[in-house]
């Protein structure tokens, strides 16, 4: 009895499989009016869930916008998004599955250098274009890849350069004499902080503390006590969101208020950051950022409006970066005229400048962007852009970190 | 010298909170011989419950414990009756798998209810300290430590001064003997699982004030809590307290005097070293069945 049912069930499943296989093959040879499937694996849970969720929103805003405007090459866009749980092994398995099982037409990148490092190798092996919205670790571009492009303005080692140049040329009364560099051990954050440190040391600002910590550290009281003992004028904290918040909260508990505070990533997460450390404690915190909602860049107003319509509020930086990456992919697809010849798309990107909501982007042979980051500062409970001057939203700079003053 | 005192105090306070978080895990193992991998997820559930009480009802997270403890005890009792009881006497591998699955279900449920964005509670005392000169003690850690000590004291009183406590200890020491003298080990196990979950959620409410959290944070916590109860001796409440304090001190002193890069890894080296010399943990008791398994 059971065997008969089992055989019938197997028959039904086999028929369904053939049917689905036929459908899949039908969409495989491409084109027609079938949707263009774009695959990504994003950290929706785990260490990078905050940033990954924002990136997913950015992709979704782009897909909705494109579909409302007639699609890509006249075809609707369908996103196939998986959750890699912030895990390097999972992200590799996911991108392999997107290519071999989900049969996506195009890939798009994930969040963080840590995850883009292995994921981009999967794309390269399959000769598929890989635009990454995050992942500026210099080592990513030292592997001779042909299909990889980073769609922010600069690689990690150059993201804090504008800030470092600016602070090292301040009048003596404001210029820090000593600096501390507590940094999470991460391929994106470490070169970011090293880039700033090399400029500041070159300008004569003495390093009094430099230590890395592991990503699973959640108690920052001891680290902050050590940094406080070193008594720096400037703290450059290489961080993501959780540790960025934890570190500032520990600074407040220790009543440690250095003259200047610069953090990577965390302060760019807008209201979430302000809520986590208290809006009154944000005043004067400086950070590098790729996107300004107020910028007059192509499609930016449309993106900001659509984001608010779909998710409410101002878009976080990571949502904008994802949208920008999708704009780059869209430009390459439209320039080549189909989704098959991905080598031609990569060649086209190496030779052209692409206007995006992050500004005009262009790349070198290895896919490194050749632009300059924005520098933001929390002022009066919101983010203002202070550098470079042509993109600044204010002439006013709060001269130092002033927690408790808003 | 002042710096050393500062680090010792910070380490002791963290250790106290670890002790509360680990107490339920060791209690459940002591009575049921179940390694509850979902314990870390229960801890984070407590943090989210406290967050809801704080953000929606305006109740201080530490006071919210008075609500969270009975709710989580009841939830634990229900989970035991529906999911754990049928496999209570199954081989340990089955219960480990089951509780791991339970952890994933709790994680996914928390993600659906509260989302996967980092969540923080910022009561006014969260960024304040008691200080004298450069020496400081964070208020949140002090309050959290005091609550942890109070809850552990209540747990200790229940175990040593009540009929229920005697029944729990009897069930832990000799389940068959306990049954023979009229103790319903199944019912005692349900109560213990409820108490374990209440302790985890109570600890979670405190942890949520100290650190930001997402549903997936439980992986990091279960690794740490398992190391603590193994260090102290699986099944021993006093061992869990001792293990937690040692673990907190090891983390803090490693960060202070070795390197912050080793702060999260070095305590595990201590656990390995202790287990090499004393496989049953610091206060664990070597049982006959443990010896026969060798």
Same domain, A44 and A108: yes
Q: Smallest Cβ distance to A217: which of B115, B128, B263? A: B263
Residue A9, pLDDT above cutoff 80: no
Cβ distance B260 to A255 less than 8 Å, yes or no, reads no
Residue A259, pLDDT above cutoff 70: yes
Same domain, A163 and A146: no
pLDDT value at residue A8: 47
Same domain, A253 and A387: yes
pLDDT value at residue A27: 40
pLDDT value at residue A38: 98
* Residues of chain A contacting B131 with CB distance shorter than 8 Å: 255
Q: How confident is the model at residue A25 (pLDDT cuts 50, 70, 90)?
A: very low
CA A157 – CA A191 distance, rounded (Å): 5
CA A95 – CA A118 distance, rounded (Å): 10
A68 in a structural domain? yes
Same domain, A178 and A235: yes
Same domain, A327 and A193: no
Q: What is the mean pLDDT of chain A?
A: 90
A384 in a structural domain? yes
A217 in a structural domain? yes
CA angle B258, B213, B63 (to 5 degrees): 105
A68 CA: distance to closest CA in chain B (Å): 28
Same domain, A354 and A316: yes
Please tell me the least confidently modeled range out of A47-51, A194-198, B77-81, B177-181: A47-51
Please tell me the least confidently modeled range out of A147-156, B93-102, B169-178, B218-227: B169-178
Q: Smallest Cβ distance to A223: which of B129, B212, B260? A: B260
B135 CA: distance to closest CA in chain A (Å): 9
* Residues of chain A contacting B251 with CB distance shorter than 8 Å: 219, 222
Same domain, A211 and A102: no
Residue A238, pLDDT above cutoff 80: yes
User: Residue-wise over B144-178: b if at least 16 C-beta within 10 A, else e?
Assistant: bbebbeebbeebeeebeeeeeeebbbbbbeebeeb
Same domain, A356 and A218: no
Residue of B111, B118, B120 to mutate when probing chain A, most A C-beta within 10 A: B118
Which whole number is the average pLDDT over A104-117?
96
Residue ranges per structural domain of chain B:
8-116+137-215
pLDDT value at residue B287: 62
pLDDT 10s digits, A265-283: 899 888 889 989 999 999 9
Residue A7, pLDDT above cutoff 70: no
pLDDT value at residue A103: 96
Whether a cis peptide bond, with omega within 30° of 0, leads into B52 is: no
Residue of A219, A231, A311 to mutate when probing chain B, most B C-beta within 10 A: A219
Q: Does A198 touch chain B (CB under 8 A)?
A: no
Residue A19, pLDDT above cutoff 70: no
> For A379, phi and psi rounded to 5 degrees?
-135, 125
Give CB contacts under 8 A, 24+ apart, made by B145-149.
B145/B12, B145/B13, B145/B16, B145/B17, B147/B20, B147/B62, B147/B65, B147/B202, B147/B206, B148/B16, B148/B17, B148/B19, B148/B20, B148/B203, B148/B206, B149/B16
Same domain, A178 and A197: yes
ipTM, two decimals, is 0.85
Residue of A42, A43, A49 to mutate when probing chain B, most B C-beta within 10 A: A49
* Residues of chain B contacting A213 with CB distance shorter than 8 Å: 255, 260-261, 263
Strand partners, A385: A376
Same domain, A88 and A205: no
0.95 surpassed by pTM: no
B123 CA: distance to closest CA in chain A (Å): 10
CB pairs under 8 A between A and B: 121
CATH assignment of the domain containing A67: 3.40.50.2300
Q: Which of residues 51-110 of A touch B (CB under 8 A)?
A: 53, 85-86
Same domain, A178 and A114: no
Same domain, A113 and A244: no
Residue A26, pLDDT above cutoff 80: no
Domain that holds residue A237: 158-289+374-391
pLDDT 10s digits, A75-92: 999 999 999 999 999 999
What's the number of domains chain A is made of? 2
Residue B255, pLDDT above cutoff 70: yes
Question: In terms of pLDDT, which residue wins out, B264 or B38?
Answer: B38
Q: How confident is the model at residue B288 (pLDDT cuts 50, 70, 90)?
A: low
pLDDT 10s digits, A346-385: 999 999 999 999 999 999 999 999 988 899 999 999 999 9
pLDDT value at residue A177: 97
Residue A29, pLDDT above cutoff 50: no
Please tell me the least confidently modeled range out of A26-35, A250-259, A359-368, B25-34: A26-35
Residue B88, pLDDT above cutoff 90: no
Q: Does A272 touch chain B (CB under 8 A)?
A: yes
Report the chain A residue with the minimal C-alpha distance to residue B221: A216
Q: Does A214 touch chain B (CB under 8 A)?
A: yes
A218 in a structural domain? yes
pLDDT value at residue A312: 92
CA A389 – CA A375 distance, rounded (Å): 10
A263 in a structural domain? yes
Residue A252, pLDDT above cutoff 50: yes
Q: How confident is the model at residue B115 (pLDDT cuts 50, 70, 90)?
A: confident
């Amino acid at each position: 009895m059971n065997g008969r049912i089992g055989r019938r069930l197997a028959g039904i499943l086999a028929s369904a499989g053939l049917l689905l296989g036929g459908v899949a093959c039908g969409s495989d040879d491409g084109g027609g009016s079938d949707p263009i499937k774009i695959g990504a694996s994003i950290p929706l849970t785990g260490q990078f869930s905050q940033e990954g969720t924002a990136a997913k929103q950015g992709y979704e805003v782009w897909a909705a916008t494109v579909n409302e405007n007639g699609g890509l090459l006249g075809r609707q866009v369908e996103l196939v998004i998986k959750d890699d749980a912030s895990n390097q092994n999972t992200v590799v398995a996911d991108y392999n599955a997107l290519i071999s099982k989900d049969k996506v037409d195009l890939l798009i990148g994930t969040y963080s250098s840590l995850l883009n490092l292995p994921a981009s190798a999967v794309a390269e092996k399959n000769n598929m274009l890989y635009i990454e919205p995050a992942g500026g670790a210099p080592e990513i571009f030292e592997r001779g890849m042909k299909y990889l492009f980073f769609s922010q303005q600069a690689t990690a080692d150059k993201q804090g350069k504008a800030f470092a140049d600016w602070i090292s040329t301040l009048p003596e009364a404001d210029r820090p004499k000593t600096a501390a560099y507590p940094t999470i051990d991460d391929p994106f954050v470490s070169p970011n902080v090293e880039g700033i440190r090399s400029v500041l040391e070159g300008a004569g600002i003495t390093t009094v503390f430099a230590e890395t910590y592991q990503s699973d550290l959640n108690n920052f009281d001891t680290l902050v006590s050590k940094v406080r003992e070193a008594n720096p004028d400037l703290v450059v904290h290489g961080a993501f969101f959780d540790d960025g918040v934890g570190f500032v909260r520990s600074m407040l508990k220790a009543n440690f208020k250095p003259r200047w505070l610069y953090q990577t990533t965390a302060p760019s997460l807008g209201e979430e950051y302000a809520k986590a450390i208290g809006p009154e404690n944000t005043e004067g915190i400086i950070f590098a950022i790729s996107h300004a909602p107020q910028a007059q860049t192509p499609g930016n107003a449309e993106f900001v409006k659509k984001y608010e319509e779909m998710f409410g509020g101002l878009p976080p930086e990571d949502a904008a970066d994802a949208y920008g990456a999708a704009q780059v992919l869209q430009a390459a697809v439209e320039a080549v005229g189909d989704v098959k010849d991905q080598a031609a798309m990569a060649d086209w990107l190496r030779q052209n400048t692409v206007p995006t909501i992050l500004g005009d982007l262009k790349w070198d042979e290895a896919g490194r962007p050749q632009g300059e980051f924005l520098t933001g500062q929390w002022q009066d409970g919101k983010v203002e852009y202070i550098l470079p001057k042509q993109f600044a939203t204010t002439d006013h700079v709060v001269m130092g970190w002033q927690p408790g003053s808003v | 010298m002042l710096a050393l005192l500062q680090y010792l105090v910070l380490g002791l306070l963290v250790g106290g909170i670890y002790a509360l978080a680990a107490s339920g895990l060791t209690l459940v193992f002591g009575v049921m011989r179940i390694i509850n991998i979902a314990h870390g997820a229960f801890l984070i559930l407590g943090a989210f419950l406290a967050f809801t009480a704080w953000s929606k009802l305006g109740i201080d997270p530490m006071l919210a414990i008075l609500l969270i403890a009975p709710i989580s005890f009841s939830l634990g009792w229900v989970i035991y009756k529906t999911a754990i009881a049928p496999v209570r006497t199954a081989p340990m591998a089955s219960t480990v798998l089951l509780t791991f699955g339970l952890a994933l279900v709790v994680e996914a449920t928390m993600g659906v209810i509260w989302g996967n964005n980092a969540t923080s509670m910022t009561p006014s005392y969260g960024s304040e300290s008691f200080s004298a000169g450069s020496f400081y003690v964070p208020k949140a850690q002090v309050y959290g430590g005091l609550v942890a000590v109070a809850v552990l004291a209540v747990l200790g009183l229940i175990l040593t001064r009540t009929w229920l406590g005697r029944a729990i200890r009897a069930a832990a020491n000799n389940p068959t003997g306990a049954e023979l003298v009229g103790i319903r080990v199944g019912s005692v196990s349900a109560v213990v699982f409820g108490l374990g979950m209440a302790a985890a959620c109570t600890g979670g409410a405190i942890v949520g004030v100290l650190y930001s959290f997402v549903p997936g944070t439980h992986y990091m916590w279960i690794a740490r809590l398992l190391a603590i109860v193994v260090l102290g001796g699986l099944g021993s409440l006093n061992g869990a307290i001792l293990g937690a304090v040692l673990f907190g001190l090891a983390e803090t002193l490693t960060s202070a005097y070795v390197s912050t890069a080793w702060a999260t890894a070095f305590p595990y080296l201590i656990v390995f070293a202790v287990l090499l010399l004393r496989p049953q943990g610091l206060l664990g008791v070597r049982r006959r069945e443990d010896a026969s398994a060798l």
